[in-house]
Every structure is written in structure tokens, then in C-alpha cells.
Structure 1
Amino acid sequence: MYDDDFGGWGYALMFAGMALFWGLLIVGIILLVRYMSHPFPAPPGGAPPLRSAEAVLAERFARGEIDEQEYRSRLTILRAGTTP
């Protein structure tokens, strides 16, 4: 009476539908993993804190780039808030 067979096109459409389903599922999982593995960006306007001028001066003194007299002179100027 009725033919329960899908025929050639029925199997082809079923295969294409399953391939599309599994392909989209795999791509979705890959995109989710990539999204979750990246660090979230910093909020806008959240620039990294700058080091203070005194800290930079102390580092230069510690590295031997400037001597004690120059260090003390520049530190006095920094703390006074004036330029040389």
C-alpha cells in the first residue's frame, strides 16, 4: 500500500541534515572554548597605574645610573613640586 522507503533523496537530505547539525555543534563548542580561554579585556579608561616619579628615581639610583648627590637633589625637587 504505502512505501516506507525514503528513497535516494530522503537519505541524502537526512545525511545533509545530520552533517549540518554535528558541524554546527562542533563549531559552537570550539567557539565557546576559545571565548572562555581568552582573558576578558580591561574596562575602558582603566589604564595601568603609573609608577611614581620617586619610585623611578629610586630605581635609577639603585641601578647606579645616578649618584647619591644627584638622587638627593632630584628627590628634593620632586618633593618641593618645582622644576629645576
Structure 2
Amino acid sequence: MMFWYDHDVDGWGWFAMSAGMVLFWALIITAVVLLIRALHAPHEHTHTPTAPTPEDILRERLARGEIDEEEYRRRLRTLHAGPLKKT
């Protein structure tokens, strides 16, 4: 009847058990941290999108082919020149 005691866990068994417990708790802690972050993260739909800048609109019009490169550069220079002075 001594065969019940012949199945002790050897060094690799203890290592595997220890590594398994460390991985188990790391997984639990990671899940809790991610859950807390997800619950406290700001919602994306509450932010209003930023309005496109005039340069963005010009780039989009050039990309769509509504204006050519010469027109794009002329309008960009006008935008960067600032407001027109009245005389």
C-alpha cells in the first residue's frame, strides 16, 4: 500500500505549479486593471469633433480635384498672408 506515496511532486512540478499561480494572479490583476480603466475612461462619443482648418479644407479640395495645384498654392498664400488691409 505504499504506492500512494510514490507520486510526490518533483522540482519541475513545484516550478510549474508556482509559475501557474503567478500567471493566474497576473491574469486576474490585469483583468481588474483593464476593467477599471474601461469603466473610468472618457466616452468617445461625448467629445465634439474638431472643425477642419482652412488648410485642411484646401487639401481636401485639391485631393478631390476641385482645384488644381496652382489654385491651391495661391489660396494657401492668401490664407497665410493674414487679413486684408482696407485703405
Q: What's the TM-score, normalizing by structure 2?
A: 0.46
Looking at secondary structure, tell me which structure has more helix per residue: 2
Q: What's the TM-score, normalizing by structure 1?
A: 0.48
